Structure 1
Amino acid sequence: MSTLYKVTFLNAGKIYELYARKIGAGTLWGFTEVSELVFDLHDGLVVDPTEERLRDEFGNTRVLHLPMQSIVRIEEVERKGQSAIRDAASGERVVTPFPLPAKPR
């Protein structure tokens, strides 16, 4: 089994947690290259909307070039956990609530 990394980085006031197979010093000075992103594959029902949102945003990304100052932590892990998007100030997960119908007037 190949090495798996958990990459935690700051982006637009939120903390992203992604999993990747390759991490390296970028060819662009001051950037870290993150490639071979790993996502859960669910056929049918969406179990985790955050995972779906991350897959929509980064699913077609070959190499993610992250500025070194935005990286919070890179961990080598044994298995994949849940990917997440958290609020940078509170640390709470950012969850898009299910839209409720408007109340009739």
Structure 2
Amino acid sequence: MSIQKSIYRVVFLNQDKVYEVYCESVYQSEMYGFIEIEELIFGERSQLLVDPSEEKLQNEFAGVKRSFVPMHAIIRIDEVEKGGVPKISDSKVSSITSFPMSPPKKS
């Protein structure tokens, strides 16, 4: 009986783009206000058809062991049965600016 690893789909905003990535580990970081994403999953390089947005993501995250995403940039995190195609798409709402947040001051 084999133990199946969990796969997570993480959707977040980054510079007016919506990133959708798949990973094996996602958890709250020890750095205040960040979510850690580890072990990103990409499609096989041997496929005949190449998705340009997936290739761009793969190049952007090449050599990255762990990525720290600000908590306020996270749109959604889902646990899925199998990985899909990671992608970058344009944000539909570009006129909204997130409210700046600062960490609480230590007393």
The CA distance in 2 between the partners of 1:78 and 1:51, in whole Å, is 20
Q: Who is 1:13 aligned against? A: 16
Q: Who is 1:48 aligned against? A: 51
Aligned-residue identity in percent: 39
Aligned-pair CA distance for 1:44: 6.9
Aligned-pair CA distance for 1:60: 1.1
- For structure 1, the 5+ residue unaligned runs are 91-105
Asked if 1:66 corresponds to 2:69, the answer is: yes
Runs of 4+ in 1 over 6 A off after TM superposition: none
Aligned-pair CA distance for 1:47: 1.7
Structure 1 length normalisation: TM-score? 0.80
Between stretches 35-44 and 76-85, larger displacement belongs to 35-44
The CA distance in 1 between the partners of 2:63 and 2:29, in whole Å, is 19
Amino acid at match of 2:92: A
Aligned residue pair count: 90
The Cα RMSD (Å) is 1.4
Indicate conservation of the 8 Å contact 1:20/1:35, yes or no: yes
Aligned partner of residue 82 in structure 2, secondary structure: coil
CA displacement 1:55-103 (0-9 Å, x = unmatched): 000121111000000000000000111111111127xxxxxxxxxxxxx
The CA distance in 2 between the partners of 1:56 and 1:45, in whole Å, is 18
Amino acid at match of 1:9: F
